Amino acid sequence: MAEIEPEDKQLISFLKSALNASPDLIFAKDIRLHYQAVNEAFAKFIKLPCTQILGFKDEELFAKADMPTWLGTSDHQVLQTLNPVRREQWVKQGHETILLDILKSPIYNDQGKVIGLLGICRNITDHEKAQQSLQAEKEKAEQATAAKSEFLARMSHEIRTPMNAVLGLTRLTMNTELNPEQLDYMEKLLSSGEGLLNLIDDILDFSKIEAGKLTLEHTTFSLEKLIRQSINLTAINAHLKGIELITDIASDIPEKLIGDPLRLQQILVNLLNNAVKFTDIGTVCLKVRVKGKTDQHLVLHCTVIDTGIGISQEQQKNLFDCFTQADDSMTRKHGGTGLGLAISKQLTELMSGNIWLNSKPGQGSQFHFTVRLGQTKEQANQQPIEKQQVANLKVLVVDDTRIARMVLLAMLSSLGISADQVDNAMDAIAKIKQARTEKSPYDLILMDWRMPDMDGLEASREIYRLHDSAAPPILMVSAFDKDEAKNNALKSGTCIHQFIEKPVSQSTLVDAISTILTTPTPQTLAKDLINRKIKAEIPGLPPQASAITERKKATVPDFSGFDILIVDDNELNCRVAQGFLKDSRVNIDLAENGLIAIEKIQQRHYDLILMDIQMPQMDGLSATSHIRKILKLEHLPVIAMTAHAMEADIIRSREAGMTAHLTKPITPEVLYQTLLSHLPERPLTRERPEQKVK
């Protein structure tokens, strides 16, 4: 036998040391399955010294009754297939059972011939126990989350059902003859009810986000319309506090974008409402810019700037955490749950953005957020005004609020108009006098309404008194109710060419200027104003009565000739729906549950069904499925009108065959719009044939 070289001895010693240092059980067998090498961990595990293992087979080492099956199992498979084999097996060791991860693979010599197999067994008991514990905790957490979600969904349903009656009957009561005190009570009741509803929605949204079940839509929407709606939802509280709302929207932002408009509006309304809540005097400004842009996407950077109380550095640390408020003391002045900012943070992150703030006590706050939105080739029509038409116009902007002036000047500049500016009425009158003296009169005045010392209406009267027919057209820009400004102008005989309400958008300003460029002269307007004033002063008719009547007629559609069936087991909810539809002249029939609804549908024709979901005897989902599958009425609109508000409820409604899903409490506007969208073409007569059932 050749003597082993010193280098080989050193290598063999190294390999033995490496094998013995491993906690894994390692062994090697020849092609006849005799042990050729084992490490100390293996010998210790089977409780035999290495010298008594080498050269023997498993069946020679152990009595057959005590033969550990894991040692020999799969040996022949490895040698026959020449493929590694891996499996896990529980093995008894003394008084405990452990889990081994066993890997066996063939061993080849230098010529590539198989000479045996190598086995490595790793104890993975602790890992398996950790995995089992983790899985148990995961299942426990999922069960807790499911239980919480089920509880919230149930509570949402149980609260929304009576809330539908409370809010609905309140709205109906407000349409009746009430004295001022009663009307005030009803308005406060409605406001408090809507506040409670907003709280319910916040809690549900927070629950969805926490459970990872909140999904975003990707639909085309108008950014200007969305901002206008967000401002409108905030305007009432701002006007009550005398706060001026301003929007500063960059002109390079596309009108049409792709994203989730409702969730984006939710963020804006949260931030705007907070700004108004914590501001007692001054302004709240929404500033929107493009932060980044590609061919397919852009990143919007929105900032809500207020002149309110400000927030300290200590309060800012946890402001975006759940149920955290800037002031959580027992004497806090402002209400709220502390959920709005937490939800806004989660929503911005879902839109691939983030949210942050800059603020100092007594110096107001700036809340910033970014969102990533898609771009679309579909855009709104071009401005109905050419820059060449207005570039030479001489315009004066009169406003005592600097930021409001800057926004108007920027909008005019984007139209090619370089305007002058003053911050009070007296300077405006002086500038108009000077311009006329210099034979370079102004073509248009943008006049704020409420200003110190002299308001816009008084200034306008003075301008027309001094200049008569040569007075420039005046565009009244009001931070408050423009109807009130109109009425004040009407009562005082002030000739105002056009009224627009802040915050002013680019399209609103363009429309107003276009109207001014194409409307009659101030003298004609003055005559028209006098005529309207005379009509408004007819005895027995309040100044705004006709306008209110017209608005009411315009908001309630005419559904005469249509037949609808309301299916709901709650009498109050039925009365609310009937009350909302009373002036629409639609024919209404009622059913207490799904079974009665199916009987009625088979007996007569209906143009649309309003279907509750949770009802006795037969629920709305089962009834709708029956209408679709058994009665074969595939085109009959069936609208879910229910207190079930979760995403899963909407999906179940759709799967059952419902046409749309309305969540209680419903509002008249949403109900009207839904009927307008889903009712068929107007019937020719009120006599309708019976519904044919296949």
Residue 672 scores a pLDDT above 80: yes
pLDDT tens digit string along 576-594? 889 889 889 999 999 999 9
Q: Is 228 exposed, middle or buried (0-12, 13-18, 19+ CB in 10 A)?
A: middle
Mean pLDDT of the 503-508 span: 82
- The ranges of the chain annotated as CATH 3.30.450.20 are 17-123
Distance CA 370, CA 288 (A): 10
Taking the CA atoms of 160, 165, 170 and 176 in sequence, report the sign of the dihedral they define: positive
Residue 533 scores a pLDDT above 50: no
Q: Where are the beta strands (DSSP E) in 31-183?
A: 35-38, 85-93, 96-108, 114-123
E strand or H helix at 183, and its extent?
Answer: helix 180-210
pLDDT band at residue 12 under the 50/70/90 scheme: low
- Please say whether the beta carbons of 614 and 620 come within 8 A: yes
* 338 phi-psi bin (left φ>0, alpha ψ -120 to 50, beta other): left
Residue type, 438: E
- Please say whether the beta carbons of 26 and 19 come within 8 A: yes
Helices (H), 244-390: 261-277, 313-316, 340-350, 387-390
pLDDT band at residue 667 under the 50/70/90 scheme: confident
- Please say whether the beta carbons of 312 and 373 come within 8 A: no
Residue type, 178: L
Reduce the DSSP state of residue 298 to 3 states and report it: strand
- Please say whether the beta carbons of 678 and 659 come within 8 A: yes
pLDDT tens digit string along 193-207? 777 777 777 777 777
- Residue 525: predicted pLDDT: 44
- The ranges of the chain annotated as CATH 3.40.50.2300 are 388-553, 555-678
- CATH class given for the domain over 219-330+341-375: alpha beta
pLDDT tens digit string along 448-472? 888 888 888 888 888 888 877 678 8
CA 646 to chain centre: 14
Reduce the DSSP state of residue 398 to 3 states and report it: strand
Dihedral angle computed from the Cα positions of residues 528, 531, 536 and 541, in that order, rounded to the nearest 10 degrees: -140
Mean pLDDT of the 43-51 span: 87
**More confident site: 537 or 568:** 568
The pTM of the full predicted model, rounded to 2 decimals, is 0.56
Token pair recorded at residue 166: 């409370």
Distance CA 472, CA 425 (A): 15
pLDDT tens digit string along 235-283? 878 888 888 888 888 888 888 999 988 889 889 988 998 899 889 888 8
Distance CA 663, CA 645 (A): 6
Token pair recorded at residue 225: 């319309």
Question: CATH: 3.40.50.300, 3.60.20.10, 3.40.50.2300, 3.90.79.10. Which one for 388-553?
Answer: 3.40.50.2300
- Residue 685: predicted pLDDT: 46
| Range among 161-170, 383-392, 527-536 rated most confident | 161-170
pLDDT band at residue 121 under the 50/70/90 scheme: very high
Distance CA 679, CA 681 (A): 7
Distance CA 300, CA 254 (A): 11
DSSP string, 145-171: HHHHHHHHHHHHHHHHHHHHHHHHHHH
Mean pLDDT of the 644-662 span: 86
* 613 phi-psi bin (left φ>0, alpha ψ -120 to 50, beta other): alpha
CA 395 to chain centre: 40
Nearest to 616 by CA among 569, 663, 572, 573: 569
pLDDT tens digit string along 400-443? 888 888 989 988 888 888 889 999 989 999 998 898 888 888 88
Instruction: Tell me how far CA of residue 95 lies from CA of 91, 92, 98, 129, in angstroms.
Output: 11, 7, 10, 17
- The ranges of the chain annotated as CATH 3.30.565.10 are 219-330+341-375
DSSP string, 379-397: -PPPPSS-HHHHTT--EEE
Distance CA 573, CA 579 (A): 10
Output phi, psi for 657, to 5 deg: 110, 10
Mean pLDDT of the 95-113 span: 89
* CATH superfamily, with its number, for domain 17-123: PAS domain (3.30.450.20)
Provide the CATH topology of domain 555-678.
Rossmann fold (3.40.50)
- Residue 599: predicted pLDDT: 94
